Structure 1
Amino acid sequence: MTGGPDPLSPAARALCDALATGFPGPGDVAALRATAAGGRSRPGGPAVSGVHDTDAAGVPVRVYDPAPGAAGRPLVVYFHGGGWVMCGLDTHDPVCRALAVASGAVVVSADYRLAPEHPWPAAPDDALTVLLWARAQAGRLGCDPGRVTVAGDSSGGNLAAVTALRAPGLVAGQLLVYPPLDASMRSGSVDRYGQGYFHTAAHMAWYWEQYGGDPQHPHVSPLRAADVSGLPRTLLVLADCDVLRDEGLAHARRLAAAGVDCAVHLYPGVFHGFLGLPLPAASSALTAAAAWLTR
């Protein structure tokens, strides 16, 4: 945490400190998973008309349908965050509910395999499997197969970006919420926000270690992709006080330079993980992302 005025809003600072108190340090997978499952400070999501769990070619998924029987709607394939080592369908249930209700889209949330038990490429392989399954099921789900968006927060944002790279032409959009995009972690925001803003640089480095894979490979570090010109329209949702902020901004600049329709929503005064927390910025971010999805 740097000197001078606190860049977090008072409400965000209170939540940040509350979440950080007792949050396990890097290295204890069981403790991190137990804490994430507790879901401290995260309100429940809105009611959704149709919610059911099913199997997507071997990967468990949860489907959120805000208007069963409708047709031609967007379809969102969502990948949860958690450093590739924790979280799952239940921890991100509120966000998926909110996104489905606000956008009118069907949301398919993927319960991909976690590291360190299942290191790279298990998670991106599961992500691609769910995308292909969702596209094949689009008509049955009342969705337009030409309006499929991959989405995710934090490590799930990484998986969404990697899936878009691996499936050219199959994805109409990518919604990336504060994603880790470069395993080298050399950006300026790593130094500036590496401590004191809940998600520390030490935690992020440890998550990368558990995840594995070649840090130079674009399916590990999407910022390393040689050619991004064929990627779909993109929305990057970023927290200003986040070690991952500059990676997201660098990715946006590359996409724009390559002619990709790319928008950045940078939220000041908040920290990594703010989506789904009881903060005005979280509500604004979900509303704006939903509007982008339905545009």
Structure 2
Amino acid sequence: MANTDIHPELRSAARFTPRKLIYPWTLPILRRLTGLQRPDNDGVEVLTLESGVGVRLYRPTGTATTTPALLWIHGGGYVLGTAAQDDVLCRRFVKELGITVASVDYRLAPEHPYPAPLEDCYDALQWLARLPGVDPDRIAIGGASAGGGLTAALALWARDHDGVKPVFQLLVYPMIDDRSVGSHLEDAGHRLWNPASNAFGWKAYLGGADPEVAAPARRTDLAGLPPAWLGVGTLDLFHDEDLDYAERLRAAGVPCQVHVVPGAFHGFDGIVAKADISTAFFYSQCDSLRESFGG
């Protein structure tokens, strides 16, 4: 692929963005670096649920009534990351929509493979619905990359279990298929995440689990899921699997808005957050969330 195939707003950043990031030998280093970061807890409630799951809670100011809520799930290939990494994004959702946002610190693979991370997200969802000031009938779930994969899995899990039923799922370039499907797997435009990293992440997450159950893209029955928004770039490793999933959602009768960003690689909106395409990507999510909340 020629450099010109990368979106003009992303070309400068692409030169300094690694094509691959997470491998077995880099994971301990990246985790140590993450542990050295000190999050800004100003205005954030840092909580530990009875189940032991950590949550970062962001509330709107000056709101006397109950608000809709978003359960946000961070990315990191199922093996890396913390809720604090998305502080800026969660605060943006609160400011733009006037909602409550809870970001969950789920357990990571390979130490905690499926279903542990998903169970943590489900526990956080149940807790969020009981939180004073939150409207339990207007709760959305969302996440990026592996967080998007957990969002898709959580939507399925919530459908199949008693408890809170999310009204919407926000799937930001979700990691949903362990088979790494598509004809573009070795595309030179990929950044941050490549097939080798994907294979490592999925192996760690699945452990001994049946992928037909654990990987959302392998699920055959998608009926009855909440409406969805799905966004992905054309240079994202997940492009093909994501668009296929969106089509299958629609075929199952689930409304799904798709936002494709030409020339965008994985995680582009976090790397070049102020680019016009990143801003449009964010506001597309906000518009869908606002509509799902009925406002």
- TM-score, with length taken from structure 1: 0.87
- Residue aligning to 2:282: 286
Whether 1:181 aligns to 2:179 is no
**After alignment, is 58-67 or 181-190 more displaced?**
181-190
Structure 1 residue runs of 4 or more that deviate by more than 6 Å after TM superposition: none
**In the alignment, is the contact (CA less than 8 A) between 1:184 and 1:215 conserved in 2?**
no
Whether 1:110 aligns to 2:108 is no
Which amino acid in 1 is paired with 2:240? D
Shift of 1:38: 7.8
Shift of 1:7: 1.8
**After alignment, is 267-276 or 248-257 more displaced?**
267-276
- Residue aligning to 2:156: 165
SS in 1 for 2:244: helix
**In the alignment, is the contact (CA less than 8 A) between 2:173 and 2:242 conserved in 1?**
yes
- Residue aligning to 1:152: 143
Q: Give structure 2 stretches of 5+ with no counterpart.
A: none
Identity %: 33
Shift of 1:186: 2.1
Whether 1:56 aligns to 2:52 is no
Please, which of 16, 27, 30 is the counterpart of residue 29 of structure 1? 27
Please, which of 250, 254, 259 is the counterpart of residue 256 of structure 1? 250
**In the alignment, is the contact (CA less than 8 A) between 2:181 and 2:240 conserved in 1?**
no
SS in 2 for 1:266: strand
- Residue aligning to 1:78: 72
**In the alignment, is the contact (CA less than 8 A) between 2:21 and 2:193 conserved in 1?**
no
Relative to structure 1, the CA distance from residue 70 to residue 15 in structure 2 (aligned partners, 3 Å threshold; closer, same or farther) is farther
Shift of 1:211: 1.3
| CA distance in 1 between partners of 2:290 and 2:269 (Å) | 19
- Residue aligning to 1:15: 13
In the alignment of these two chains, the number of paired residues is: 282
| CA distance in 1 between partners of 2:252 and 2:180 (Å) | 23
Relative to structure 1, the CA distance from residue 253 to residue 24 in structure 2 (aligned partners, 3 Å threshold; closer, same or farther) is closer
**In the alignment, is the contact (CA less than 8 A) between 1:37 and 1:87 conserved in 2?**
no
CA RMSD in angstroms comes to 2.5
**In the alignment, is the contact (CA less than 8 A) between 1:23 and 1:35 conserved in 2?**
no
**In the alignment, is the contact (CA less than 8 A) between 1:24 and 1:31 conserved in 2?**
no
SS in 1 for 2:257: strand
**After alignment, is 143-152 or 195-204 more displaced?**
195-204
- TM-score, with length taken from structure 2: 0.87
Relative to structure 1, the CA distance from residue 274 to residue 196 in structure 2 (aligned partners, 3 Å threshold; closer, same or farther) is closer
Deviation string for 1:221-278 (max 9, x for gaps)?
A: 1111121110001000112111101111011000111111110011112111123333
Shift of 1:23: 4.7
**In the alignment, is the contact (CA less than 8 A) between 1:74 and 1:294 conserved in 2?**
no
**In the alignment, is the contact (CA less than 8 A) between 2:225 and 2:254 conserved in 1?**
yes
Shift of 1:290: 1.1
Shift of 1:71: 2.2
Relative to structure 1, the CA distance from residue 68 to residue 167 in structure 2 (aligned partners, 3 Å threshold; closer, same or farther) is farther
Q: Give structure 1 stretches of 5+ with no counterpart.
A: none
**In the alignment, is the contact (CA less than 8 A) between 1:176 and 1:235 conserved in 2?**
yes
Relative to structure 1, the CA distance from residue 16 to residue 32 in structure 2 (aligned partners, 3 Å threshold; closer, same or farther) is farther
| CA distance in 1 between partners of 2:265 and 2:92 (Å) | 20
Shift of 1:176: 0.6
| CA distance in 2 between partners of 1:22 and 1:154 (Å) | 14
Relative to structure 1, the CA distance from residue 228 to residue 80 in structure 2 (aligned partners, 3 Å threshold; closer, same or farther) is same
- Residue aligning to 2:211: 216
